[in-house]
């Protein structure tokens, strides 16, 4: 899948994936794709909050919690994070 502004997009995606694996080491990295949600990968509500917070800290950004909404797939999370970085 190609994305506009590929380099930065890839950077955000990789940060999200790295933090997801740090929080949930048994997560199937191969299944970490843009069309899936973190819930589908076995992350519970507090895991998801922590993964997103860690990624924001890594990127040096702060996104209001309500912007993440519920049940977004990984591609949407990347877009929301990118919009603030």
Partner 1 sequence: MTVVVTGLGLVGAVAPDVAGFDDALRCGRVALTACPAPVPPDLGPAFAARLTGFDLERAVASVPDVPAELRDLAVRTARRSPLPVRAATAAAVQAWVDAGLYDRAPAAERIGVVVAGNNLTESYSEAAHAGRVPTRYALHHYDTDHVGTLSRVLGVRGEGCTVGGASASGNLGLVTAARMLADGALDVCLVVGALAELSSSQRRGFLLIGAMAAAGAGPVERPVSPFDRGRRGFHAGEAAACVVLETAESSTARSATPVVRLAGHAVVLDGNHLPDPSVAGEVRAMRLALDRAGIAPARVDYVNAHGTGSPVGDDVEVAALREVFGDEPGPHVNATKGLTGHCLTSAGVVEAVATALQVRGGYVHPNPGLTDPVDPVCRFTGARARRAGLGFALSAGFAFGGLNTAVVFAHPDT
State which of residues 8, 18, 39, 54 lies at the interface with partner 1 (CB under 8 A).
Answer: 54
Ordered DSSP codes for 36-72:
SBTTTTT--HHHHHHHHHHHHHHHT----GGGG-SS-
* 78 lies in the site for partner 1, by CB under 8 A: no
* 61 lies in the site for partner 1, by CB under 8 A: no
* 49 lies in the site for partner 1, by CB under 8 A: yes
* 26 lies in the site for partner 1, by CB under 8 A: yes
Helices 74-83 and 6-23 sit at what angle, rounded to 10 degrees? 120
- The residues binding partner 1 (CB under 8 A) are 23-26, 46, 49-50, 53-54, 57
């Amino acid at each position: 899948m190609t994305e506009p502004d590929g380099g930065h997009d890839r950077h955000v995606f990789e940060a999200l994936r790295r933090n997801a694996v740090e929080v949930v080491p048994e997560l199937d990295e191969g299944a970490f794709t843009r069309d899936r949600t973190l819930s589908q990968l076995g992350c519970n509500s507090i895991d998801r909050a922590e993964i997103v917070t860690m990624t924001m800290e890594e990127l040096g950004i702060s996104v209001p919690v309500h912007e993440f909404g519920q049940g977004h797939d990984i591609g949407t999370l990347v877009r929301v994070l990118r919009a603030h970085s």
